[in-house]
Amino acid sequence: MSTSAPALGMAGAEPIDPATGAPYRADHLLIAEMVAVGSRVLDVGCGDGALLQLLADTRAVDGRGIEVEREKVNACVARGLSVIQGDADADLTDYPAQAFDYAVLSLTIQATQHPKTVLENLLRIGRHAIVSFPNFGHWSVRAKLLLTGRKPTTRNLPEPWYLSPDSHLCTIADFVDLCADIDAEVEQAVAINTWGRRLPINRSIRLQNLFGEKAVFVLKGRD
């Protein structure tokens, strides 16, 4: 990892997004650590632009965003970010191959209509793809399903099944299978626990799948 920008530790005082006053999300901080300084990044589903702002401020990144909600797009542009209104399913096909160093999809893949196509597009557009998602294999999810017999809701996935935009929830193990299926190389896989801390069990997918609340994967297409 390049290091000329300030390191963003997961512990200690929480860094704050100056535009919204909210603390940066744990997966955003983790992504910021993974991205090389000065690289070109496309953030798909960039929301209010928190990650793009963080990357611009701490990693000198040349960032672009795609966001589906109009109000969020306008907020991003008003704070000086380069963001277009669009969505991962429809608009990724417009971009040329290898246009970015990283194509990022943070906590969005589960809400896309065609996660496999979206992931293939990310790997085509970016030299690397960084994907974070809520892990539906977390022990608490498994326990809720086992004990209540109903689709679990969690802090990350609060809506009941009939309201949830997340039509394609997956576990870390499921995601690893998809990566194998589309022949993507997993360069890095990190799970975060409930407190936003990186799990110390990086090597075992099985344990990450049980104790990781969210996962961040760095992928690369095989040539």
Task: Please report the sign of the dihedral spanned by the C-alpha atoms of residue 213, residue 173, residue 169, residue 187.
Answer: positive
Q: Cα separations (Å) of 138 from 28, 131, 205? A: 20, 17, 12
Distance of closest approach, residue 152 Cβ to other proteins, in angstroms: 36
* Interface residue list for other proteins (CB under 8 A): 62, 64, 70, 73-74, 76-86, 91, 94-96, 99-100
Please say which residue, 129 or 191, places its beta carbon nearer to other proteins. Answer: 129
Q: Which is nearer to other proteins, 83 or 131 (CB)?
A: 83
Q: Which is nearer to other proteins, 22 or 78 (CB)?
A: 78
CB of residue 58 vs other proteins: minimum separation in angstroms?
A: 17
**Helix, strand, coil percentages, rounded to 5, for the chain:** 35, 25, 40
Q: Which is nearer to other proteins, 74 or 204 (CB)?
A: 74
Q: Quote the least distance from Cβ 96 to other proteins, whole Å.
A: 6
| Among the listed residues 103, 88, 98, the one whose alpha carbon sits nearest the alpha carbon of residue 223 | 98
Instruction: Tokens for 170, please give them.
Output: 């997956």
Task: Work out how close the CB of 90 gets to other proteins at its nearest, in angstroms, rounded to a whole number.
Answer: 10
Q: Which residue has the tokens 């990566």?
A: 179
